[in-house]
Amino acid sequence: MSLNISMSRRCLAIAAVVTCLSSSVCADQTAVDRKKDEIISKAERLFGQRYTPVTGKPLRLFDEQTETGPPDAVIFWHGSSYVIVLAFASDGQIAKVTLLPEALLRSDYWGDVPETVALSVAEMPWLVESAGTLQPLGKAVETFEAPDGWFQSGPNLYCADNYELASVSHYHNERADEKRGTEVALRDIEILYKQSVTGVVEDVRVDGSQRQLRVAGQWYHGEKPGAGIFAEVQIGAAVRLVTYGCTANEKVCLAVADRPKSDVAEH
């Protein structure tokens, strides 16, 4: 009899723990969903009409090489040729905001985008301000890279602006204009939000030349193989990483070691 009572108590204790864990998971997911709903509600007031895919023209939903499935994203129309894509991180915060030609939702080839499709210069500060309303970018950060943060390759110009909590990249294209000679057209803008990652290395693996670390269930790799903590750190070590634009469905996210402010100041 006492054995049966003891077993019953153990079963009740285990059931209570499982219920507690389930409730905790449900509560966390509810908080994430609530956070996303609040952001989407704000985005609808800012951007207006939701994008509806054209029948018979399937979307290029995700890159099978880097993502595990369709991104957790919401898409809005922006004019007749552009869309705004909001992609979310696993915690319900925005991972990235992208303003791109609607044609690139179905293709990753810029040749499929008409040459006449471009953004006005005013779209740049507008999108940055709008994204900051949804989720703060912080103050602009000066860099000592190429002038104005621009890198040119042929007629293509790739630019980057850094903020305390985000990185903004924008692509431009030089093209000939019969009346004004050469003009620079703004073609797309992407805002990648900064995410700080602190935790213990749960696992380590090597994929090709990249050594990868798993922290809090997500895999990360460094910018270059064989450098920094990604080449040295072992399972069980505590790490601090910084990643930009890491969405919930990515197989591996690019990250760098997060140096203490005192170390940054010394440099």
Enter the tokens of residue 30: 């509810």
pLDDT in tens, 40-53: 999 999 999 999 88
pLDDT in tens, 206-233: 988 899 999 999 999 998 887 788 999 9
Enter the tokens of residue 182: 């050469």
Residue 16 pLDDT more than 50?
Answer: no
Question: Measured between alpha carbons, how far is 147 from 227 in angstroms, rounded to an integer?
Answer: 27
Average pLDDT of the residues in 67-89: 95
What domains are there in the chain, each with its CATH number?
Answer: 46-193 (no CATH), 195-266 (2.40.50)
Sign of CA dihedral 89, 91, 97, 101: positive
Which of the pair, 33 or 55, is modelled with greater confidence?
33
Which of the pair, 180 or 183, is modelled with greater confidence?
183
153 half-sphere exposure, CB direction, 13 A CA radius: 3
Percent of the chain predicted with pLDDT > 70: 83
Q: Tell me, yes or no, if the pTM score tops 0.75.
A: yes
Residue 119's closest CA among 178, 170, 154? 170
Question: Measured between alpha carbons, how far is 87 from 100 in angstroms, rounded to an integer?
Answer: 13
Average pLDDT of the residues in 253-264: 74
Question: Measured between alpha carbons, how far is 113 from 249 in angstroms, rounded to an integer?
Answer: 27
Q: How confident is the model at residue 14 (pLDDT cuts 50, 70, 90)?
A: very low
